[in-house]
Structure 1
Amino acid sequence: MRRSLAFCALVCGLWFTAGLFAPSVMASSEIRYDVTMEGMTNKLRTRLEEISKTVLLEKKRPPGSIALLRRRVNEDIPRLLQVLKGEGYYGARVSADIDTKAEPVRVMFRVALGPSYLLKSVEIKTVDQDARPRVSLPNPEELGLHLEKPARARAVLDAKEELIKHTRKQGFPFPRIVQQKVIVDHAERTLAVIFSLDTGPLAHFGSTSIIGLESIDESVVRSEIPWQDGDRFGPEMFSQLEKELIKTGLFATVQVKLGETFGKDGLLPITITVKERKHRTISAAASYKTDEGLGGTISWEHRNLLHYGDRLRLTTTASEITLAAEGQFRKQQFLRDDQSLSFTLRAADDRPDAFRSLNVYTSLILDRTLPNEMVLGGGLAFKAEWVEQLGDENRYGLASVPLHLYWDTSDDLLDPKRGGRLMLAFAPYYDAFGSNLSFIKGQLGYSRYTQVFTKPSLVLAGRVNVGSIGGAKRDEIPADERFYAGGGGSIRGYPFQSAGPLDGTNPIGGRSSLELSAELRLKIGEHIGFVAFLDGGNAFTDSIGDSGENLLWGTGAGFRYFTAIGPVRLDIGVPLNQRKGIDDDYQIYLSFGQAF
C-alpha cells in the first residue's frame, strides 16, 4: 500500500514539473524571424508585403522549425511573382535566403524586376454579330487601356468590366466575355489582349410592375419613369429613376430590376420594388451666432397628404431677431408630371438691428422641372407690412411677380463635395397701398464644389452672390427689401447686416450687393473636419463699387462634426478691415450644415 502511494506521488510530481516547464519548451521550439525585401520601390514593396504569408504570419504564428519556415518562404515566391506580373513585370525573378545563424533568423527576399512589359495591342472580337444589331466597340483608351504603357493586370480586369458596361449602354442587357486571352511576348517584352464578346440580344423596355406601395398612389412612381414601353434599354435610366424616387422623400429604398426573359411581345419586363418612409416628420434645429444670438426652428411635415406625394410643412422660427410662423402646401404633378404648385403663407416679426418689420406674406408659385437638374418657376406674391427704420415708419402692400431658375448638380444638400448650384431670381414689385412705388429686384448666386483629394477628403468650395435693385431710390425702397451683407451666411467676421451703408452704427442697406467666399474643407476620419475660409463683399448705396464703398474682407477657421444627416458647424470669423466702434475682434457661428 505504501509503495502504491509513493508511486502515485512520484507520477503526480513529474506531471506537475512537466507542466511548469512545458511552456518554455514550446516557446523555445518557435522560430522567431525578421523579413526584409529588396529590389523594388516602396509602393511595390507594400503590395508584396500585403500578400506574403511570411510577412503576415511573422508575429501571429511563428513556425515550429526551420523546415516549416523554409516551406513558408518557398510557397511565397509564386505569390510574389504573380503580383509582379500583375504590375507588368512578366520577366521578374524572386529568390530567398534564410540566415539561420542570425538571432532572430533573417529572411531576405531578393527581387529582380527586369523591364516592365508594355501593352502592344487590344482586340475585341464579337460572337454571332451577323445575326444581331451591330454594337459600337470602344477603343482601348475608353476601356482604360493605353498602348505602349506598362501592361498591368488590374487594368485588364477593369477593362473587361468597362467593356460590359459599354455594351449595356447600347441596349444589350446581357453581354458576357466568353473568352479573354492574354499573349505575352518575352522576346519583345510586350503583351497583347484579346476579348471575345457575346453581346446577347438587343432589348427594349416592356411592361413595368411596382411592388411595395402602401399609401402612395402608383402614379407617383410612374410619373418618374424616364422611359416608355418599347424604348431601347438603357441601364443609366435605372439609376436615374432610383435617384429621383429617393429625392421625393417618400421612399426609404428603391430597387429597379430587369426581367431575365423576354415576354411574348419581345420586350423585357421591369420590376420596381419600393419601401415607403414614414410620411410624418417632426424636426428641430438650433443655432448660435454672436451677432444674432440664440435661434431655433421647429417643423412638422407630412410628405404624402393626399396620397400623391403632396407635401404640407408647418414651421415656427424664434430667435433674438425674428419670430415667424409659416405654412407651405406643395401639390405635385400639377397639370403635368413635371410640374408642382406651391402655396405659402408666412407671418413674421423681423427685428434685426437694421429695421423692424411686421409682415404677412403669401405666394402661389408654379415650378417646372427641366432636364439636367434645372427648375424654372414663377408666380404671384403679396406682402402686407409695417416697417420702421431710424424712427421712420411706413406701410406697404407689395405685389410682385417672382421668377426664378435653379440649377443644382451638387451631390449632397448639407455637405456638398462635387458639382455646383446656380440661383437666378427676378421680381418686379408694385406698392398696392397707393404710394405708386415700383421697383425691380434681381439676384444671381453660384456655388462650386471640387473634391481635390478623397483620403483624407479635401474640398475646395467657392461662392459668389450679386444683387441689384432698379427703378427707385434707396430710401424709397422698403428697408426689409434692400440688400445687406455681413454675418454667418454672408461675410463672416462682421456683425449681421453691418457690411454696408451705415447711419452711425446702424445698418440701412443698399440697392446692390456683392459677396465672395472661398473655403477649404478637410475631413479627417469619419466624424471630424476642419475648414479655413476667406469671405469678402459689401452692400452698396447704389451700384456696386459706387461712392467709394470698398469690399470688406473676413477670414477665419472652423470645426466640423459629421453626423449621419450632416455636419455641425462651428466657425470663428475675424474682420480684416475692422471698423472702430462697429466691428468686434471676432464672431462665432454655431449651426447645422456647411456655410454654403
Structure 2
Amino acid sequence: MLLAVSLFACVGLSAEKAAAFSLFGIHLWGERDAEVDTVQDPVRYTVNFTLTGGDSDLEGFLRRRSELVSGQDQPVDGDLGLLVKARDDLQILVGSLYERAYYGGLVDIYIEGRPITDIVGLPNFDRVNPVPVTVNVKAGPLFNFARIDLQGDAAQFDPAKYDLVTGTPAYSTTILSAANAIVNDLKNEGHPFAEITQREVIANHDNATIDVIIGAMAGPIADLGPVAIKGSEAVDPDFIRHYSRLKAGQRYSPEELNEAANRLRKLNTFDSVVINTGDALDDNGQLPTTINVKDGKFRYFGVGATISSIDGAGLEGYWGHRNLFGHAEGLKIEGSVARIGEASGFDDLDFAGGITFTRPGLFLPSGTLTASLLTAAENPDPYNAKSVAAAVTYSYEQGDYNTITGGVETRYANIEDAFGTEDYLTFSVPVAFDRDSRNDALNPTEGLYLITTAQPTYDFLGDTFYSSFDAIASTYFAAGADDRFVLAGRLGVGTIVGGDSLKDIPATDRFYSGGGGSVRGYGYKTISPLNANGDETGGRSYVEASVEARIGVTKNVQIVPFVDAADVSSDAFPDFGDIRASAGIGVRYLTSFGPIRLDVAVPLDRYPNGERYGIYAGIGQAF
C-alpha cells in the first residue's frame, strides 16, 4: 500500500451530527443546523414554487436565484423580515426572467395565501407552524433581438461582436455586457474618458421582440503622463516604475494598466497595488498616472510535514525575505528531512537544503536573475545520491504566456546505484521554454501548460558529454454549464543522447516514472528498466501520458476517474517494450484556495512485490 498525505495547515473538524462534516471551516456535506441564536424573533417558512412555460433549464435557474427558496432552511427575523425577503425576491425573479430574455413574465408571491402586494402594515404570521409561501412564475414568450442601433462613437463597431444579433434571444445580460465591452474597446483604443451616453431597450410585446439602442462618446485620445509612485517606504520608486513597464508618452490602455498592477502584485512585495489615472488631461495633454502601493511584510517563514506508509515522516521549513536591497530582491533559505521512521539509520534519511537569491527586473523589466546553492541526500529505491549544486539562470518573459530561461549549473554527486558507486562532477547549460496559458494554475479548465528543457552536460570526472531533452504538455477541455465537465490530458517525452553507457550518466539525470506526480499507484521512481539482478537502472528515454475526467457532481465536488501510463527505455528512443499503466478514481473538493485532492490508484501491471495500490492527497489538481 502507498499512502501519502501532506499537512501544511491546521485542520478543524466539527459535526453536530455524525452525518455532517466540515473541513477548514467549510461545510462539505450533511445537514447544517439552522443558525437561530442571532435571530431574535425566528419565523420559519416553507416555499411552494411553480413555473409555467419557459425552457427546460429555467426552473432550476430561478430556484437558484430565489432567496426564498435557497434560504428556506433558515428562519427569518420577525414578520417584517419574511415580508421584506418576499418583496426582494419578487424583484430578483423578475430580473432573472429578463436575464433569460423573458420580458413578458409574471411573478406572483403569496404569504399565507395573500398576495404580498396586498399586505400592508405589520403582519402577524404563524409562530407554531412554518408559514406557507407560494411563488408562481409565468415565463411568457421568449423575446428575440429585432432592431440593433449603435450610435455615436459606438457606430464603428459590429453589433455581432457583442452578441447583439437579430433573431437571437435578447438576454438582458448580453445588453449590459455589450455596453461595457463597447466602453472597454474605446478605452483600449486610447480614450480614457469613453462613456455610454444612451442605452435604451424597447420591448414589443405583440411580436416578442426587443429593440436596442446604445450610444457612446469616446472622448480624446491620450498618452500617459509621468508615472508617479506613492506609498512605498522601502522599495525604490524607480524600480517600481521600471518593473511596471509603464512609461510617460505611452498610449493609454486599461488592459496594460491592469497587467502592470498584476505584475507588481506577483512580486509578493506589496500588500496592495492600485493604479489610478486622472479625471482630466494635464497641461501637456497627457493623462496623470499614479501607482499606489503599500509595502507588505518582507520577511516570511513556513513549515510543513508529510507522512507516508512507505517513506515515513518528513519535515520541512523555510525562511525568506522579499526586499533585501530595495529592488524586490528575494532570498529564501530552506531545508527538509524525510524518511523519518523508515530509514534504517541516519545515513538513509533524505536531506535537502539550500539558499536561493532572485533579482527581478534586472537588465530588462521582464527579466529575472536567479542564483542558487542546493545540497541534497536522496534515497529513492533506484539509487542513493549525495550532491551539491550551484546554478545561475536568467528568465525572460516573452509576452503574457511564454518564458525563456537560460543558465549554467555545476554539480558534484556521489551516487550508489545498480552499477555501483561513482563520483560525478558535471557542468551543464540548461535552456528552457515554458508556455502557460491556463486560466487557473490550481484548477485549470482551459489553456495549455508546456514545459520544455534542453540540458547539454559535461562530466569532468568521467570525460563524458551527454545532452538531455524533455517536454511535458498539459491541456484542458471544458463542457457543460459552469464547466462541470473537464477533460484533462498530459503527455511527457524525454531522451538522453551521448555517453557510452547508462553508467556514464548520473542516476539523478536518468529518467524514471511512478509516483503521485506521474503514474499513480506505483512507487516513486519505480518504473524503470531493470538489470539482471532486478535493480532499477533508470532510462535514456521515456513517454508518459495521463488522462482524467473531472466531473462535477455538485458545485464544489468533482469525481475524477483517471488513467496513467508510462514507458521508460534504456535506448535513446522508447521501444514501448514495458508499458506500465494504472487506473484510479479521485475526488476533489473545490475551495477558494484550490481543490483539495484525494486519489486512489491501482497498478494494472504491477511489479513483483510492488505496491497493490496508492493513495494520494494534496491541494490542487494532479496536473
420, 425, 433: which one aligns with 2:453: 425
Contact 2:426–2:457 (8 Å) recurs in 1: yes
CA distance in 1, matches of 2:225, 2:434: 34
Q: How far apart are 1:590 and its partner, in Å?
A: 3.9
Query: Secondary structure of 2:327's match?
Result: coil
Contact 1:387–1:394 (8 Å) recurs in 2: yes
Q: How far apart are 1:323 and its partner, in Å?
A: 1.0
CA distance in 2, matches of 1:97, 1:136: 46
Q: How far apart are 1:510 and its partner, in Å?
A: 0.8
Q: How far apart are 1:506 and its partner, in Å?
A: 2.4
142, 145, 149: which one aligns with 1:123: 149
1:93-112, CA deviations, whole angstroms, 9 ceiling, x for partnerless residues? Answer: 899999999xx999896958
For residue 580 of structure 1, what is the amino acid of its counterpart?
P
Aligned counterpart, 1:534: 563
The 5 Å alignment of 1:83-482 reads 88=101, 111=138, 113=140, 115-126=141-152, 137-185=156-204, 189-320=208-339, 322-390=350-418, 392-433=420-461, 435-452=462-479, 455=482, 458-472=485-499, 473-482=501-510
For residue 570 of structure 2, what is the amino acid of its counterpart?
T
For residue 313 of structure 2, what is the amino acid of its counterpart?
L
Q: How far apart are 1:263 and its partner, in Å?
A: 0.6
Label 1:397 to 1:162 Cα distance change in 2 as closer, same or farther (>3 A): same
Query: Secondary structure of 1:168's match?
Result: helix
Q: How far apart are 1:346 and its partner, in Å?
A: 1.4
Query: Secondary structure of 2:356's match?
Result: strand
Label 1:168 to 1:136 Cα distance change in 2 as closer, same or farther (>3 A): farther
For residue 140 of structure 1, what is the amino acid of its counterpart?
P
CA distance in 1, matches of 2:351, 2:239: 36
Paired residue total = 546
Q: How far apart are 1:412 and its partner, in Å?
A: 4.1
1:454-477, CA deviations, whole angstroms, 9 ceiling, x for partnerless residues? Answer: 758554332211111001222322
CA distance in 2, matches of 1:566, 1:94: 39
CA distance in 2, matches of 1:441, 1:163: 50
Contact 1:456–1:525 (8 Å) recurs in 2: no
Contact 1:287–1:591 (8 Å) recurs in 2: no
Aligned counterpart, 1:512: 541
Query: Secondary structure of 1:166's match?
Result: helix
For residue 307 of structure 1, what is the amino acid of its counterpart?
G
For residue 148 of structure 1, what is the amino acid of its counterpart?
G
CA distance in 2, matches of 1:527, 1:405: 34
Contact 1:456–1:522 (8 Å) recurs in 2: no
Contact 1:569–1:590 (8 Å) recurs in 2: yes
1:68-110, CA deviations, whole angstroms, 9 ceiling, x for partnerless residues? Answer: x9xxx99999998887677555667899999999xx9998969
CA distance in 2, matches of 1:340, 1:533: 37
514, 517, 524: which one aligns with 1:486: 514
Aligned counterpart, 1:498: 526
Contact 2:150–2:159 (8 Å) recurs in 1: no
Contact 2:275–2:291 (8 Å) recurs in 1: yes
Q: How far apart are 1:178 and its partner, in Å?
A: 2.2
Label 1:475 to 1:273 Cα distance change in 2 as closer, same or farther (>3 A): same
Worse-superposed segment, 80-89 or 152-161: 80-89
CA distance in 2, matches of 1:497, 1:118: 60
Contact 1:558–1:569 (8 Å) recurs in 2: yes
Contact 1:474–1:542 (8 Å) recurs in 2: no
Query: Secondary structure of 1:480's match?
Result: helix
Give the gaps of 5 or more residues in structure 2: 1-45, 115-130, 340-348
Contact 1:400–1:430 (8 Å) recurs in 2: yes
1:377-406, CA deviations, whole angstroms, 9 ceiling, x for partnerless residues? Answer: 212211112221236121121111111112
TM-score by length of 1: 0.80
TM-score by length of 2: 0.77
Label 1:84 to 1:424 Cα distance change in 2 as closer, same or farther (>3 A): closer
Contact 2:264–2:273 (8 Å) recurs in 1: yes
Root-mean-square deviation (CA, aligned residues, Å) is 4.0
Contact 1:286–1:591 (8 Å) recurs in 2: no
For residue 259 of structure 2, what is the amino acid of its counterpart?
Q
Query: Secondary structure of 2:381's match?
Result: coil
Contact 1:290–1:587 (8 Å) recurs in 2: no
Structure of greater Rg: 1
Query: Secondary structure of 2:243's match?
Result: coil
CA distance in 1, matches of 2:338, 2:579: 29
For residue 333 of structure 1, what is the amino acid of its counterpart?
G
Worse-superposed segment, 234-243 or 564-573: 564-573
Label 1:228 to 1:187 Cα distance change in 2 as closer, same or farther (>3 A): same
Give the gaps of 5 or more residues in structure 1: 1-31, 130-134
Q: Give me the identity figure in percent.
A: 28
Label 1:264 to 1:360 Cα distance change in 2 as closer, same or farther (>3 A): same
Worse-superposed segment, 340-349 or 90-99: 90-99
